[in-house]
A and B are shown apart, each in its own frame.
Chain A
Amino acid sequence: MDIKGIRTEDRALLDVLKSAIVALEEGEALGAAEKVVAAGIDAKLALRYAIAEAAAIVGAKFDCGEYFLPQLVISGDLMDAVSKILEKNIPQADVEKKKIIVIGTVQADVHSVGKNLVATMLKSGGFQVVDLGVDVASASFIEKAKDLNADMIALSSLLTTTMPYQREVIDDLASMGIRDRFKVLIGGGPVTEEYAGKIGADGYGRDAIDAVEVAKKLLAVE
């Protein structure tokens, strides 16, 4: 069903839900989600309309400097909680599976700000994001990606001397014969598109906003 085809009062309910997420009003958002379920509104439509549009608005607010990392984290958690409520009436088999991205800062690098921004923006962008933190060894990225049957591994590096550890993950995937199983996205202060091409990464994110666009493109997410 299309959003245009639903009843005015249902549309109003979804707007309340969307606004509450954007305003980071947890109680109001969870309450609105329950009302959406009680009203029998198609859950998939609600997810597509309320959550996806809220995520886009939150992203735009970050882009224009109105929202920052904490707001992204809060909205991401809130979207998760709302999704769980909306999905409870959908048979498990019908729940739209989110693309999974395993992210972290590579081995020997403890810088986290850029990686945190990318992780939260990806989450807001509709991905399931598993953040392994900083100073993550190649084996840990690969093991987690295999365990979760992830779609993408995202590697951050802020130091010139830790950039080779991005390549190491790609090389390790290749030597294990599983390079094609995961898309690899790289980024970080000294990293360039040229470097991404050189080491055989699938994509390069110049910043958090760009990274979401590239991830969506690589994983064919609308």
Chain B
Amino acid sequence: MLTLLEIAERTQTGEKIEDKKWDKMFYENITRLVKKYGIIVPSEHRFINMDDDLAERAFQAALEFLETTGIYCLTTRRRVALTREEILTAIREAPAEILMGDGRDRRVWKQRKIEGREKLNVCPGHHTPFSEDLAGLVVHNFAQIPRTDFIEGFNFTHIEGREIMGPPMEVYASRRQVNWMREGVRKAGRPGLAIVYYPINTRAEDLIGVMDPENGLRRTDGILLSLLPDLKMEQDMLSAAIVYEEYGSFKLSGSFAIIGGFCGGIDGAIIEGIAKPIAAMIAYRDYINYTGVEHVHMLNGRQILVPHVNWARSVVNQALNRYSHTICMRWVIPTSGPGTDLCLWEGAMQAVEAPLNGMNLYAPRHCRTTMNHGQTPVEAEWMIEVSDAVIEQGLDREAGNELLGRIATQFENKQPCAGHDIGECYDLIHHQPRKEYAAIYHTVKKELREMGLKALS
């Protein structure tokens, strides 16, 4: 695989190109390849892709897209060009399993198989802001979920009563974030559990300043180094990738495509969705990716479901699982907030999809997350239950598709609802949902069982 030093050099020597020209080229290349490879959204409304030939064509389109487009370095405004051989070598050499954590908390995070029968790996939470006063307690609660394989950090606005602003305070706050994480997992009796640093900011000093084998980010931990939409990278992130590659930490990336961005519609997003995790692997050595496609209207919380988005997500993940070693995760971003039935139904839908498309589960959180208003442990625990039931019941893609159709009826004529702060719907002291949320949970569970997921105990 290309060395990170080679990538660094290309960010300094590659073709100079302005943002606007890149964006135009990005769209033109994707549009051309959508036509060339016949990436056509089916007229029939499906949630899970059954067309394996289409998944293969989409993968080939993504390869050609990467080969003809490359990666754009935002810092130097240069194009990092890649040859087909370099891309194929990277795909071949990437690992399909990552070791993380230490001692009895050591875990293997794996690439799943389509309709696989192994239980999914789980990151249950964070990647949403929590206030300083709740930080330790929140981590403790998420770390108590037995199936947790790693846990990610979070953002916050104040540290020790002061608003975080500027690099020195960011570095200080970054170090406190990982301290809280370490302390939280230790209190949960899982001192070796892998934690992942969630960048307070993307400056190199913030990213690197958390390294600390004692109380901070250990070699067995990880860091989120995401490639930006439209295949854009930054030198600060690359600097951190170089350091962490030598340190030994694993890296992960947010690698979904956004329908509505420069990739265009659903067809173009499928190509970007496949190309992006491969690019992230080459640029930053991100082997674990949250993958798929999202719609800008869903990310904004304007619409709960947009037709064909689930199907497109399915194509992307099936292609990545079949033709690469990409370790895919489903980042669940409900349009409704915690404490609501809609939030649990959205989680259920994606927990049904995940094992069928070959994805692990990653940190469900509200699309319009604000301070202490993004997630509770209930959503993650619920999704674990649902995905386990899908596997136990032996659902295949066709049966899963039918079940998803029934779940989708829950969203008809509904608008997303904001939900509640974590303290309002979850008892952090006793690690359980408050009465009202528990009742909602039991109702949704009963209804999902009645819809056909009988293995839900």
Whether both chains belong to one complex is answered with yes
Task: Please report the C-alpha to C-alpha distance between residue A148 and residue B234 in the assembled complex, in whole angstroms.
Answer: 30
B258 is an interface residue with CB less than 8 A from chain A = yes
Task: Tally inter-chain residue pairs, CB-CB below 8 A.
Answer: 84
Task: Report if A160-B27 is in contact (Cβ < 8 Å); known contacts: A68-B261, A110-B228, A112-B228.
Answer: no
**Residues of chain A with a CB closer than 8 A to B295's CB:** 65
- Give A71 to B262 CA distance when docked, in angstroms: 9
Q: Does A69 contact B (CB under 8 A)?
A: yes
Among residues of A, the one whose C-beta sits closest to the C-beta of B307 is: A65
B151 CB, nearest partner CB in chain A, Å: 19
- By size class, the interface of chain B is 35 or more
| Contact, CB under 8 Å: B259 / A159 | no
Name A164's closest neighbour in chain B (CB-CB). B165
User: Which residue of A is nearest B203, CB measured?
Assistant: A108
The digit string for A53-81, where 1 denotes a CB below 8 A from any CB of B, is 00000000010010011110100000000
Contact between A207 and B200, CB atoms less than 8 A apart? no
Given contacts A160-B155, A161-B155, contact A108 B201 (CB under 8 A): yes
In the complex, what's the smallest C-beta–C-beta distance from B161 to chain A, in angstroms? 15
Does B163 touch A at the CB level, under 8 Å? Answer: yes
A163 within 8 A of B: yes
Residue A159 contacts which of B201, B234, B262 (CB distance < 8 angstroms)?
A: B201
Contact call A133/B228, Cβ cutoff below 8 A? no
Do B170 and A69 touch (CB < 8 A)?
A: no
Q: A110-B74, A133-B19 in contact; A163/B297 too (CB < 8 A)?
A: no
A164 with B129, Cβ < 8 A, contacts A159-B201, A207-B300 known: no
Give the contact-size bracket for chain A.
20 to 34
Asked if B156 lies at the interface with its beta carbon under 8 angstroms from chain A, I say yes
Q: Are A68 and B229 neighbours in the complex by a CB distance under 8 Å? A: no
Residues of B within 8 A of A159 (CB): 155, 201
Query: Are A113 and B258 neighbours in the complex by a CB distance under 8 Å?
Result: yes
Asked if A70 contacts B27 (CB within 8 A), the reply is: yes
Give bound CA distance, A70 to B378, whole Å: 39
Interface residues of A in 80-98 (CB under 8 A from B): none
Asked if A11 is an interface residue, CB under 8 A from chain B, the answer is: no
> Does A161 lie within 8 Å of B23, measured CB to CB?
no
Check if B228 sits within 8 Å of A161, measured CB to CB: no
Q: 8 Å CB contacts to B: which residues of A174-222?
A: 189-190, 192, 206-207
* Contact assessment for B260 and A160 in the assembled complex, using a CB-CB cutoff below 8 Å: no
* New A-B contacts (12) at CB < 8 Å, excluding given A111-B228, A189-B299, A190-B129: A68-B261, A68-B263, A70-B262, A110-B234, A112-B228, A159-B155, A160-B155, A160-B157, A161-B170, A164-B165, A190-B370, A192-B370
Identify the 9 closest CB pairs spanning chains A and B, nearest first: A160-B155, A70-B27, A207-B300, A164-B165, A160-B129, A68-B260, A68-B264, A113-B229, A113-B261
Q: Which residues of A contact B (CB under 8 A)?
A: 62, 65, 68-71, 73, 108-113, 116-117, 133-134, 159-165, 168, 189-190, 192, 206-207
